[in-house]
Chains A and B, each alone.
Chain A
């Protein structure tokens, strides 16, 4: 039961993020919601590779051979780097929109429709 808590937490984070994206109108908050979804996915990835009492997967002078899985950690690191790039790009878009429209509210973004 306690071993499942990280997965449940990851699920809750993803739901919180998606709810934030759907219900908030401020663009910055929507980007924050996306970052929370990403954190949830990262937690999910890392939790998949965790084992109780495991050590870092470095074989030289290892105290035990119970090791956590390095592949998912590498995947998580990659996703964190990708996430930084995406968030930076999204926030710079928000900045330009604020400068041109004078608002960062999604309800004011109505110039494209049809």
Chain B
């Protein structure tokens, strides 16, 4: 009974559970630390299980439609509506389910990592409530089939994220970073809303499937496309709109940084959804595809070259995050550029997209892992400055092991997961344009060089006196890092199975605009 209710209403519960959990957290926090931590663990685990239930359903039986407030939630159209969906609809296809699955997983890991709080930290109840709200924002963005709804979840994502970045309020610099992030996110949100207004004015609907079906690609649609892509690329942290990422990622608490990476990827999902599903073949896909490819290449190169001279370990990792976002844009951009050519799409376009999408989840795993190790080091030493750190390999052996796994994965060394997705990108992009592939490889080598330096600066060298008291971090932190490290290794050893199981349906769902439209407009 409960099971049937649960699986039938999975898309709604996916948002309802963390939202309820967020608002109940301050109340449960009054009972003490342990009940609150158990509550957060329960809520994030339930959210993860719900997204897994949803994902299983989507991958076995096809896209799931959930109409809010309708008598039968699976029917998008009612008989007297004249063939137009009138309610807010969640349209969960393979791409959405895949994003929701790993977002809720990283959310759970970030929550577990946050359980041991530092000595000077207060206001943890609010912290966890905001963490859950951030999760709601991300899950809503990836599941919704309604443009205005997308904007609302984008704003929830931005507000919760900005408030969390400002969590370490004591010196004011975190607030400076949060102010930049909030300002930029709000501006990006308003650009998106303006584009939504333009599209609504023309097509009388907010539903993505309806707009996609009626899309004419006139002048106003081009303006709307430019606004949507600019706004979402700003939020995703692609060059040249990347200036907020190093500040924000370095000043936020580490667990939050790991989760903010996923929040940015939700915006990246928005870029892909707009380009492939909302506009699809009507847009000038070669031009837009090349535009995304150039954004990607610039992000890769600028990100890595800015990362090399950094002295703050988290700032350095943040620039690498910009650089890795470039790989995803490159892979999917190549897919978009050959969207109209079935032969090229079949021979390398789809592989490039699969590589890009696979890189999204891999990045969430190894980048999350790296930010968490940086957080563990900060937790024990109180500094992120590479010039002051050193010799920690003697006392923090597990953290060192996890750092090595993350660093090798980001540099694309086999057998870790970064290698698997980068190889797919190299091979397929080489068939499209060899130069792009060579740039991608050079960036990988620079990444490796940069992380060798970081590894040496933090862990190598003799035991330092000022860190004589440093011990290994508490068990929940080790557990959070361990599970990400395990996944990094497992996804590197069995890449083909994962690609076949989840990644290629996701890429297929992005390319197949027709079935997205049909899933809403088809059944009356």
A30 within 8 A of B: yes
Report the minimal beta-carbon distance from B298 to chain A, rounded to whole angstroms.
19
Chain B stretch 165-193: residues in CB contact (< 8 A) with chain A:
166, 169, 171-173, 175-179, 182-183, 186-187, 189-190, 193
B473 within 8 A of A: no
Interface SS of chain B: helix
CB nearest neighbor in A for B246: A114
State whether A94 and B173 are in contact (beta carbons under 8 Å apart), knowing that A44-B194, A48-B200 are contacts in the complex.
no
Chain A stretch 63-114: residues in CB contact (< 8 A) with chain B:
71-72, 75, 78-79, 82, 85-86, 89-90, 93-94, 96-97, 99-101, 109, 111-112, 114
User: Are the CB atoms of A75 and B190 closer together than 8 Å?
Assistant: no
Chain B stretch 26-85: residues in CB contact (< 8 A) with chain A:
none
Max count, chain B CB within 10 A of own CB: residue among A96, A97, A112: A112
Give every chain B residue within 8 A of A75 (Cβ-Cβ).
148, 197
Q: How large is the interface on B (under 10, 10 to 19, 20 to 34, 35 or more residues)?
A: 35 or more
State whether A112 and B251 are in contact (beta carbons under 8 Å apart), knowing that A34-B183, A90-B183, A93-B166 are contacts in the complex.
yes
Give every chain A residue within 8 A of B171 (Cβ-Cβ).
100
B315 within 8 A of A: yes
Contact with B along A1-41 (1 / 0, CB 8 A): 00000000000001000000100000100110010011001
Name the one of A71, A72, A89, A100 contacting B162, with C-beta atoms under 8 angstroms: A89
CB nearest neighbor in A for B315: A114
User: Are the CB atoms of B201 and A86 closer together than 8 Å?
Assistant: no
CB nearest neighbor in B for A14: B194
B163 within 8 A of A: yes
Give every chain B residue within 8 A of A100 (Cβ-Cβ).
171-172, 175
User: Are the CB atoms of B193 and A79 closer together than 8 Å?
Assistant: yes
CA distance A90 to B181 in the complex (A): 10
B159 within 8 A of A: yes
CA distance A58 to B427 in the complex (A): 60
A sample of 22 cross-chain residue pairs with beta-carbon separation below 8 angstroms, ordered by A number, consists of: A34-B183, A41-B194, A41-B197, A71-B206, A72-B197, A82-B152, A82-B189, A86-B155, A86-B186, A89-B182, A90-B183, A90-B186, A96-B175, A100-B171, A109-B179, A111-B172, A112-B173, A112-B176, A112-B246, A112-B247, A112-B250, A112-B251
State whether A34 and B186 are in contact (beta carbons under 8 Å apart), knowing that A48-B197, A79-B193, A86-B159 are contacts in the complex.
yes
CA distance A79 to B154 in the complex (A): 12
Give every chain B residue within 8 A of A44 (Cβ-Cβ).
194, 197
CB nearest neighbor in B for A96: B175
State whether A41 and B176 are in contact (beta carbons under 8 Å apart), knowing that A86-B159, A90-B183 are contacts in the complex.
no
Max count, chain B CB within 10 A of own CB: residue among A27, A82, A100, A101: A82
CA distance A101 to B171 in the complex (A): 9
State whether A30 and B183 are in contact (beta carbons under 8 Å apart), knowing that A96-B169, A114-B312, A114-B315 are contacts in the complex.
yes
CB nearest neighbor in B for A30: B183
User: Are the CB atoms of B178 and A93 closer together than 8 Å?
Assistant: yes
User: Are the CB atoms of B176 and A78 closer together than 8 Å?
Assistant: no
State whether A72 and B200 are in contact (beta carbons under 8 Å apart), knowing that A82-B152, A96-B169 are contacts in the complex.
yes
